[in-house]
Structure 1
Amino acid sequence: MDISKETEDLFKIVAGKSSLKNLVYINTLDAFKHVKTQVEKFAIGYNEFYKAEAAIADVRSKKVGDFEIDLKFGGDVLLFLMHTNVFQFPRDHEVMKTPYVNEDSTRSYCGIINIYNFISDSFKYNRVNDVGYLIGRIFINRESHYFIEGKRELGFLYNNFGKNILTDKSAKEIIDAAVKYTVNFDLLTPHYDIAKFVTVNDIKHTLDSISMKTGKRLGYKFQADNITPEK
């Protein structure tokens, strides 16, 4: 079979991109193992600390398949979810302006571990309309370097992207920061205009499956750590 030079070049592009994305996926999966280990250690450590007395808060971890682990503490749940796909940043993203990425554009291809915060009662009572919040996301590239986009305690500088390697130590720091942020991220009463209407269907449902929406910032803008009523 005769193959033209153009086709050969295309084959190499396909193989190169597949190899790159596979490496990113493997690195992200390895990083997620560190996250899962530290989530489990957090729960074990808390319960060992309070083993001599009744634990004030219910703290436990739960693996959900290969790409999710949950950490429940008190009235909150943190969901750590690894996305199975590989992404590149938009051209206008700040990370694309860093010298680290400018030197080699393949460094901008990343896997993602998302960190969501939900109210634990949302799952306990099957309140499927309740909302959760993305409080942070970890990006890992082909060199196993990472950075975090997140709220307050979780946000890192993009300039650290070319230096940070996700280890057990850094995974613990991320989890501790996520828990700290969540503990201080309180459930606010909804704006009156949001809560004043309720349907007959909502009332007829039992509390175990009530369909009225609950969220920590329901009726408020959840943006850049500023909390203002929605218009």
Structure 2
Amino acid sequence: MDRDPNSLIIKTLADKSLVKLDIYNNTFEAFKLMKKVARYLAGNFRKQIKSIDERITVEFKDQGPFQFGFKIAGDMLVFSMHTNVFEFDRKHPVWNTPAVKQDEKASFCGLIHIYNFLADSFKYNRSEDLGYLIGRLFINKDNYFFVEGKRQLGVLFNKFGQETIDTKNIRDILQAAILFSLDFDLLVPPYDKVAVASVEQLNRKNTHNQVKTAKRLGFKFYEDDENLSYL
């Protein structure tokens, strides 16, 4: 084996770096498709909901090449693509999949986060409010994918190495995220968690819109819904 540093650097660039470039491109193309599908779903939901009650709003919000929002009723889903490529630690279940056992480079993945916020957090510019990571989508060099997430997000999309990301899978992921968010209700925080307020909070223009709010403020998110699923 050639141990010359220059040769090793060139070999690494030609090998691992090219794989990561392919993964980035796959993830970016999938994210663009995700935007397109989300925009379509928003328009379709608006048409159907209009006959029920026009006060219910559904909006797609393009927030740049690596982020978009999907507002539905009182929820805001934020989809954010990370620009880097990641490797899993050796304890992660991905290493037990046939795809990775056959080709270790299959374990490198691009990453798209799915967060659930309250829509009012953005409407009233409540910068202290919290959102929750309800899922994250991984895509590799072969366009194989899986989702780590809450409830159905982690159950339906865990066949890494068997399915590639496509329009149908993206639509299913979006719909699962929307259903989870609509069912993930805002709980009244424990009294002792909101019993103290700062002078700064009270002096702000709209006190009730500035105090920190989140669906599970004062509660442990993962204990509230333990079925965070993996492969």
Q: TM-score, normalised by structure 2?
A: 0.90
Question: Is 1:73–2:83 an aligned residue pair?
Answer: no
- Determine helix, strand or coil for the equivalent of 1:70: strand
Partner of 1:46: 45
Partner of 2:149: 150
d(CA) in 1 for partners of 2:9, 2:95: 26
- 5+ long unaligned stretches in structure 2: 227-231
1:88-136 deviation line (CA, Å, top 9, x unaligned): 0111111122222121110010000110010111111111111000000
Partner of 1:203: 202
d(CA) in 2 for partners of 1:115, 1:145: 18
- Determine helix, strand or coil for the equivalent of 2:109: strand
CA gap 1:99/1:211 in 2 versus in 1, 3 angstroms = same
Partner of 1:136: 135
Q: Which moved more, 1:148-157 or 1:102-111?
A: 148-157
CA gap 1:75/1:148 in 2 versus in 1, 3 angstroms = same
Deviation at 1:202, TM superposition (A): 1.2
- Determine helix, strand or coil for the equivalent of 1:160: coil
Letter in 1 for 2:169: S
Contact 1:136 1:150 in 2 (8 A): yes
Task: State the number of aligned residues.
Answer: 225
d(CA) in 1 for partners of 2:161, 2:106: 9
Question: Is 1:219–2:218 an aligned residue pair?
Answer: yes
d(CA) in 2 for partners of 1:106, 1:156: 24
Partner of 2:10: 11
Deviation at 1:46, TM superposition (A): 1.1
Partner of 1:23: 22
d(CA) in 2 for partners of 1:118, 1:187: 10
d(CA) in 1 for partners of 2:223, 2:156: 15
d(CA) in 2 for partners of 1:151, 1:159: 12
Counting aligned pairs with the same residue, the percent is: 42
Letter in 2 for 1:72: K
CA gap 1:208/1:173 in 2 versus in 1, 3 angstroms = farther
Partner of 1:162: 161
Partner of 2:35: 36
CA gap 1:91/1:48 in 2 versus in 1, 3 angstroms = same
Which stretches of structure 1, 4 residues or longer, exceed 4 Å deviation after superposition? 3-6, 51-54
d(CA) in 2 for partners of 1:131, 1:114: 15
Partner of 2:58: 59
CA gap 1:30/1:184 in 2 versus in 1, 3 angstroms = same
What do you get for the CA RMSD once the two structures are aligned?
Answer: 2.1
1:151-190 deviation line (CA, Å, top 9, x unaligned): 0010047861001211111111111100100000000000
CA gap 1:45/1:208 in 2 versus in 1, 3 angstroms = farther
Partner of 2:102: 103
Within a 5 Å distance, the mapping from 1:81-120 to structure 2 comes to: 81-120=80-119
